[in-house]
Amino acid sequence: MIPFANFTFFGIMLYAVVPTVLLGNAGRAGRRWAFFITLLYFIAQYSDRLSVSAYLSVPNILIAGGYAVFQWLVATLFLQARLQSKSNKRFYVAFLLALAPLATAKFLPLACPGVEFGFLGISYITFRILDILFCVQDGLIKELPGAQFFTYLFFFPTISAGPIDRYRRFDGDWKSARSREEFLFDLDAAIERTFRGFLYKFILAALIKRFWVDHATGGSVGQILSYMYGYSLYLFFDFAGYSAFAIAFSRLFGIRTPENFDRPFLAHNIRDFWNRWNITLSFWFRDHVYMRFLLAAMKGKWFKNDQTGSYLGFFLSFGLMGLWHGTALHYIIYGGYHACLLTAHDLFVRWNKKKQWCGTSPAWRLAAIFLTVNLVCFGFLIFSGRIGAPTE
């Protein structure tokens, strides 16, 4: 049961939504209710079996449940060790242990074809557990209650494709008690985003795919360009629609999951684009990979100038982002492509400060938006794997 993938899912969710509205109207739809619904969804979501190989199948709930217990032990043991002394070695051990299940799920099929491991949402859940470990290492988390930890990791609206929440932000919502007025405000926001989600995902994205993308299958330049633009629009409306649903249901249960999109096709440069597209993912990599790498490079004086560290940070961050999407070559190239764009943009900005070649007039801004959109759409063409793939 993939969240928000079809109308059957919304029909099933009425069993949770209706009592939530009734409880919220009475000012009682709090964190205990969010934990209870998340636990019920967890049981229903992972009630099937995973075919690990042709000869072995395992109940999915055992894998997901074992993963939750394992990650809680890793985080709590690291927290206890961190409260006693700050040790980078312990952080690295905890980090590698927390990352191991996702690495296994990604690379085991490559090493042993036909063998699979993992469960729905393991990629996004891994981001959440790593965020906890970073916060523990920074001394920002002092306790990890089991119910809150579980709900944060497996919060059902965001389990399969985000948005990626942060533990400290989630903690504020978890500990706050909603009044009836606050619930009605969240309910209004949930309804608005739900309608937006239906418009984006089930109308616009579906129409674009059916009447545009699915017909742009030829190998000519015109057909590839048509596919590039159609696929880019489809990807946006499908993903933004999903995010709208995720945010809507989160608000209903008292969690104000952050927005994931902000008119990305109006971005006037590639840096601005990543401040607007899949915001929670790009900010996660910015804060936990790029900035930490840059800070370590500056402290250790690894490079003669900060720009070198910054550019290598781009390639590290987007290389990992590409690898996180998948081990196929086109995902790795996609990450490297955006790292090149960000590097080129920074070099151009530095050059333009001296030359004053580009102005700030509306014409220049429109030209910048046009160029950015086309560069981004070409990146999505790489991401799709269409380049080099056989065509009809």
> Can you give the pTM of this predicted structure?
0.92
Given a cut of 70, whether residue 298 has pLDDT beyond it is yes
pLDDT at 109: 81
Domain count of the chain?
2
Domain boundary among the residues 109, 140, 175 is at 175
- Spatial contact of 188 and 41, defined as CB atoms under 8 Å apart: no
Residue 307 CB: number of other CB atoms within 10 A? 13
Percent of the chain at pLDDT > 70 equals 97
User: 223-254 pLDDT, tens per residue?
Assistant: 999 999 999 999 999 999 999 999 999 999 99
Residue partners of 50: CB distance under 8 A and separation at least 6: 57, 58, 59, 60, 63, 116, 117, 118, 119
Given a cut of 90, whether residue 158 has pLDDT beyond it is yes
Query: Is there a domain that residue 3 lies in?
Result: no
Query: Is there a domain that residue 60 lies in?
Result: yes
What is the signed CA dihedral for 154, 26, 21, 39, rounded to 10 degrees? Answer: 20
Query: Is there a domain that residue 253 lies in?
Result: no
Percent of the chain at pLDDT > 90 equals 71
Q: How confident is the model at residue 175 (pLDDT cuts 50, 70, 90)?
A: very high
Query: Is there a domain that residue 341 lies in?
Result: yes
The answer to whether residues 54 and 166 belong to one domain is yes
pLDDT at 391: 56
Residue partners of 200: CB distance under 8 A and separation at least 6: 237, 238, 240, 241, 244
Query: Is there a domain that residue 258 lies in?
Result: no
pLDDT at 359: 64
User: 126-146 pLDDT, tens per residue?
Assistant: 999 999 999 999 999 999 999
Q: How confident is the model at residue 33 (pLDDT cuts 50, 70, 90)?
A: very high
User: 92-131 pLDDT, tens per residue?
Assistant: 999 999 999 999 988 888 778 877 788 888 999 999 999 9
The answer to whether residues 54 and 171 belong to one domain is yes
The answer to whether residues 269 and 167 belong to one domain is no
Q: Which of 62-71, 186-195, 298-307, 314-323 has the lowest mean pLDDT?
A: 298-307
Let me know if 172 is exposed, middle or buried by CB neighbors in 10 A (0-12, 13-18, 19+): exposed
By three-state DSSP, how is residue 178 classified? coil
Domain that holds residue 97: 31-175
The residue among 70, 35, 64 whose CA lies nearest residue 47 is 64
Given a cut of 90, whether residue 346 has pLDDT beyond it is yes
- Spatial contact of 284 and 127, defined as CB atoms under 8 Å apart: yes
The answer to whether residues 372 and 269 belong to one domain is yes
Given a cut of 60, whether residue 392 has pLDDT beyond it is no
Residue partners of 251: CB distance under 8 A and separation at least 6: 186, 187, 189, 190, 193, 257
Query: Is there a domain that residue 92 lies in?
Result: yes
Top-confidence residue, 315 or 29: 315
- Spatial contact of 279 and 262, defined as CB atoms under 8 Å apart: yes
Domain boundary among the residues 151, 175, 199 is at 175
For the chain, the farthest-separated pair of C-alpha atoms sits apart, in whole angstroms, at 66
pLDDT at 251: 95
In sequence order, what are the beta bridge partners of 51?
57
User: 281-291 pLDDT, tens per residue?
Assistant: 999 999 999 99
pLDDT at 369: 95
Question: Distance between terminal CA atoms of the chain?
Answer: 32
Sign (positive/negative) of CA torsion 36, 163, 27, 19?
negative
Average pLDDT, the chain: 91
Query: Is there a domain that residue 344 lies in?
Result: yes
pLDDT at 335: 96
How many Å apart are CA 93 and CA 288, to the nearest integer? 17
Query: Is there a domain that residue 125 lies in?
Result: yes
pLDDT at 238: 96
Active site residues: 325
Domain boundary among the residues 156, 175, 194 is at 175
The answer to whether residues 284 and 154 belong to one domain is no
